[in-house]
Structure 1
Amino acid sequence: MRILFAFFVSLLLSGAICLPARADDAVAPQAAPDAPPAAMTKQARLDQLFSDLKRERNERAAERIAGNIWNEWFQSGSASIDLMMQWSQKAIESQKFDVALDFLDQVVTLQPTYAEGWNRRATVHFMMKNYGKSMSDIDHTLQLEPRHFGALSGLAQIMALTGHKQSALEAWQKVLAIYPMLRSAQDQVATLSEELAGEGI
């Protein structure tokens, strides 16, 4: 289970999804070469990226597309929300989870339609082993963005940690339907399928 926890934390802390260091970077991030044109609406860019992610069969290329999706998700459209998200990230990195929650409570109150605020708070609750609260925030995230493979991964891990292997398998399968080349999800589907088949004998 430590591997699952490390994977979940790495999603949050990895360079692919970390918030930019400066507020002005958050407003206008550098687009990767394969990112959709900025002239498109955010929803259109996400739709294109998810379409590309589903079709891509090269793991590295899929990682770049996923990184572009995270960049889109992080754009709140509000400088103050972006700043609070940065402060929450720094608090998490310092393991000051209560401080991070204070910022994230403000984020979801001020902008309840910002899926990444809910997802970030779900992650902090997960790290604090508050699985019920984490699942509630994951539910909010998925209502706003059903394709959120990060939130689905978190759900899968909570299900596995609480002994609900079948539900964990189903959540990982949903991740793969969105992001087929995510190696950790492939590994978890294989492992859980094997374990469940063994238990069924």
Structure 2
Amino acid sequence: MNEFSLNSLLEDLKNPDEKVRYEATAELWRIWFYQKGVAGFEILQRSQALLEAGEIAKAEGLLREIIAAQPDFAEAWNRRAVLYYILRDYKKALNDCQMAVELIPFHFGALHGMGLCYLALEEYSAAIVAFRKALEIQPYALENQRLILECTAKLS
């Protein structure tokens, strides 16, 4: 994908038209999941199926392997962050979210995940920063707006 197309998708996330935002969001997720082609996508799918089947160790192992083999696969880091978040290992989840954002600075899913991790760790100021960064990319994301208010209330 060329830079113009990517910038166009990022601009579409700020469009007042909900349908335009939805399509841009879906396309960005598709790009991230297919960053390493069909083979990478299939590994992410398998790890998700294992996670849903309760085979956490196998799901984590699969993600660990793909990250070791392709450390620039941002969505693999993000998927492992989700796994760690589900396990309530918020520090590991946060580290993986940070890696995903390092690789793709506009990864609104990983930024949102960082906010959730900070919230779970009761680091409300850091959570607000992460949710605000996600909102800069997706200004209509009501969940991030709501979570900023929640964190702000906890700081008062």
TM more than 0.5? yes
Aligned 1:1-201 pairs, distance under 5 A: 41-54=1-14, 56-196=15-155, 199=156
Which protein, 1 or 2, shows the higher relative CO under an 8 Å CA cutoff with sep ≥ 6? 1
Alpha carbons 2:91, 2:117 under 8 Å: kept: no
- Please tell me the residue identity of whatever aligns with 1:141: A
Consecutive unaligned residues of structure 1, counting only runs of 5 or more, are 1-40
Consecutive unaligned residues of structure 2, counting only runs of 5 or more, are none
Q: 2: distance between equivalents of 1:126 and 1:194?
A: 23
Once the two structures are TM-superposed, the CA of residue 159 in structure 1 deviates from its matched residue by 0.8
- Please tell me the residue identity of whatever aligns with 2:147: Q
Per-residue CA distance 1:60-113 (angstroms, 9 max, x = gap): 432221111101111133443222111101112223221111110111111111
Q: Say which one has the larger Rg.
A: 1
More helix by share: 2
Q: Secondary structure at the match of 1:95?
A: coil
Once the two structures are TM-superposed, the CA of residue 43 in structure 1 deviates from its matched residue by 4.3
- Please tell me the residue identity of whatever aligns with 2:6: L
Q: 2: distance between equivalents of 1:65 and 1:74?
A: 14
RMSD: 1.6
Distance 1:153 1:99, change over 3 A: same
Give aligned pairs, total: 156
- Please tell me the residue identity of whatever aligns with 1:75: Y
- Please tell me the residue identity of whatever aligns with 2:60: L
Per-residue CA distance 1:127-146 (angstroms, 9 max, x = gap): 11111211111111111001
Query: What TM-score do you get using the length of structure 2 for normalisation?
Result: 0.91
Q: 2: distance between equivalents of 1:132 and 1:42?
A: 34
Query: What TM-score do you get using the length of structure 1 for normalisation?
Result: 0.72
Give % identity.
Answer: 28
Alpha carbons 2:81, 2:97 under 8 Å: kept: yes
